[in-house]
Amino acid sequence: MDKLHQTLMRYFGYDSFKTGQEDIIQSVLNQKDTVAMLPTGGGKSICYQIPGYMTDGLVLIISPLLSLMEDQVERMKMRGEKRVAALNSTLSFQERRHIIRHLPSYKFLFVAPEALMSEMLLEQLKSMHIGLFVVDEAHCISEWGHDFRPEYSKLGEWREALGHPVALALTATATKQTLKDTVQTLRLQHPDFHIHSVNRPNIALVKEAHETKEAKEKRAIELVEYLQGPGLIYCPTRQMTEDMALIMKQKTHQRVEYYHGGMDAGDRMLIQQQFISGQLDLICCTSAFGMGIDKADIRFVIHMSPPQSIEAFMQEIGRAGRDGKKSVSILLYTEEDADIQQHLIQAEGFDEPEIDFFLARLTQMQTNDEKKLREQLMESGLQETRARMLIHYYRMYQSDEPRVLLMKLKEKLQDRQTEKLRKVWQFKERITDHGCFRQSLLSYFYEQLDQTESASSDSCCSSCGLDLSDYEKKDQPLELNEMKHWKTVLDRMFHLTKEAQH
């Protein structure tokens, strides 16, 4: 057994790698900047942890979400790795300072991109040997990506400040443009690319057209009672997650909670852990939930409305079936859903009076500190995500004269909105197309469905004759079209519950 496989066995207990992992790791060990796209559940974390164990220096992992960092840190600690920490907003100033002062004692450090704005952290990192600079969820780099984070645009600059360590950019979904943006932003030198299919053959794809929002809700109730869980229901707004969770609590026998970015961080982490440990059957959530969550047995994902892009959709359905077992994605939609997404995108944008007002506020501020600029804009009534975006573009063009600055700022914001709307209509075209849904989605990533490797037509998609009965509850053989017998089912379930209690 070679050293690479010995390390895999020693730290993870596996005797073989998943598809793509070994090549990615070998590229990093060869000191090559590397861009890797592995499908959700493909084991991206091993691709930086094993090089960390086999080389000197700190492994710095840039991660976009608090829940993602916490999950990774907890998993590593459970395997016995004590030299790991995460710097995030849940820590007190004293806790953050303790970690920064003791950085040489750590092997793996997870940080949000915003954390690298800290001079104290940056100076300490500069004094150390960074063995590997990892960008997790690297699609966040591209301003045309589905989950752009303005702070990611500075990662190349920060990487150079840290001595240009070997970089590894990891993602599950990325278009050619996103990959190109990743290389440019991180300032990668002749990187190796390891791009694997976004296709997940074990996840069946269903799309269903409905006349009304109420019809979708009724169908979602039927599906939740019928399908083998646990499961997720993705909703387009925070309010809808709360409404759907209440409906599911009232109308089904599932243990249900909602999850969105507006909740307290402690509540979000508690719900996440309850779901992972099997104390909850169903989460009604926004896209804020699920990224990197280590729950292998999610059996279904229901979308109450199409997300804003195909990339986001593929990312979210990938929460299911990480164990490789049969799972199902069900997209419920109405003709009006694209209009809802269009409204949400337009609400994120800025009209001319808003741009004029907030630009005037920015130019009056006696600071160039991004955090202070953001805080002052938020005090003026601007929501945080919009404040981050406006400051990002403002700083790009602030050296121009005021008239040119205003013109470029308006153009950039309009271009971004136009691109997001274009992605919404691209997705709508694929949803309403009558051909194979899976092939239609793959074609967006310039992929062709490999008939020799794909699932058979009865587990491909609803356009190819999918039979939903393969995904029903194992202990409740009930035909979905026979919901009129619900009293019989309830009586039987109540009887089983009573027996289990004795």
Determine how β-strand 84-87 pairs with β-strand 300-303: unpaired
Instruction: Judge whether residue 329 has pLDDT over 90.
Output: yes
SS3 of residue 260 by DSSP:
coil
**pLDDT value of residue 144:** 63
Of 104 and 391, the one with more pLDDT? 104
Shared domain for 116 and 171, answered yes or no, is yes
Out of 104-108, 150-154, 169-173, 196-200, least confident range:
150-154
Shared domain for 274 and 137, answered yes or no, is no
In a domain? residue 500: no
Instruction: Kindly state the tokens that stand for 154.
Output: 């500075």
- In the β-sheet with 231-234, what is the strand arrangement from edge to edge? 203-209, 327-333, 300-303, 231-234, 282-285, 256-259
Of 142, 169, 195, which marks where a domain is finished?
A: 195
Q: Highest-confidence range of 2-6, 66-70, 453-457, by mean pLDDT?
A: 2-6
Please list, in sequence order, all residues whose beta carbon lies within 8 angstroms of the beta carbon of residue 187, skipping any fewer than 6 positions away.
156, 159, 160
Quote the CA–CA distance of 167 and 60 in Å, as a whole number: 10
Instruction: Judge whether residue 454 has pLDDT over 50.
Output: no
Domain with residue 461: its CATH number is 3.40.50.300
In a domain? residue 498: no
Of 424, 449, 483, which marks where a domain is finished?
A: 424
Shared domain for 166 and 70, answered yes or no, is yes
Q: Highest-confidence range of 234-248, 361-375, 394-408, by mean pLDDT?
A: 234-248
Give residue for tokens 């707004």: 237
CB 200 within 8 A of CB 317: yes
Cα 322 to Cα 43, 293, 294, 296, distances in angstroms: 9, 10, 9, 5
Shared domain for 408 and 465, answered yes or no, is no
Please list, in sequence order, all residues whose beta carbon lies within 8 angstroms of the beta carbon of residue 101, skipping any fewer than 6 positions away.
124
Give me the domain span that covers residue 141.
3-195
DSSP 144-186: TSTT--GGGGGHHHHHHHTT---EEEEES---HHHHHHHHHHH
Shared domain for 252 and 174, answered yes or no, is no
pTM, 2 dp: 0.80
Shared domain for 75 and 145, answered yes or no, is yes
Residue 349's identity, in one-letter code, is G
Instruction: Judge whether residue 486 has pLDDT over 80.
Output: no
Of 195, 230, 252, which marks where a domain is finished?
A: 195
Q: How many helices (H) and strands (E) does the chain have?
A: 19, 13
In a domain? residue 328: yes
Counting the structural domains of the chain, the total is 3
Instruction: Judge whether residue 134 has pLDDT over 90.
Output: yes
Shared domain for 140 and 173, answered yes or no, is yes
CB 356 within 8 A of CB 231: no
Find the mean pLDDT for residues 409-437. Answer: 88
CB 345 within 8 A of CB 308: yes
Quote the CA–CA distance of 75 and 84 in Å, as a whole number: 10
**Eight-state DSSP code of residue 461:** B
**pLDDT value of residue 452:** 56
215-270 pLDDT, tens per residue?
999 999 999 999 998 999 999 889 999 999 999 999 999 999 999 988 887 888 88
Quote the CA–CA distance of 26 and 410 in Å, as a whole number: 45
Shared domain for 267 and 368, answered yes or no, is no
112 phi and psi angles, rounded to 5 deg: -75, 150
Instruction: Judge whether residue 431 has pLDDT over 80.
Output: yes
Give residue for tokens 């007002």: 357
Shared domain for 289 and 383, answered yes or no, is no
Burial per residue of 441-467, b for 16 or more beta-carbon CB atoms within 10 angstroms, e otherwise = bbebbeeebeeeebbeeebbbbbbebe
Quote the CA–CA distance of 487 and 222 in Å, as a whole number: 14
Please list, in sequence order, all residues whose beta carbon lies within 8 angstroms of the beta carbon of residue 287, skipping any fewer than 6 positions away.
147, 234, 307, 312, 315, 316
Terminal CA-CA length for the chain: 51
Instruction: Judge whether residue 333 has pLDDT over 80.
Output: yes
Residue 493: band (very low, low, confident or very high) from pLDDT cuts 50, 70, 90: very low
Out of 130-139, 165-174, 434-443, 478-487, least confident range:
478-487
CA atoms within 13 A on the CB side of 203: 32
In a domain? residue 494: no
Residue 145: band (very low, low, confident or very high) from pLDDT cuts 50, 70, 90: low
Shared domain for 43 and 104, answered yes or no, is yes
**pLDDT value of residue 376:** 81
In a domain? residue 488: no
In a domain? residue 478: no
Shared domain for 322 and 391, answered yes or no, is no
Shared domain for 445 and 375, answered yes or no, is no
Q: Does residue 187 come out as left (phi exceeding 0), alpha (psi in the -120 to 50 range) or beta?
A: left
Segment (H or E) for 446: none
**Eight-state DSSP code of residue 456:** P
In a domain? residue 453: yes
In a domain? residue 267: yes
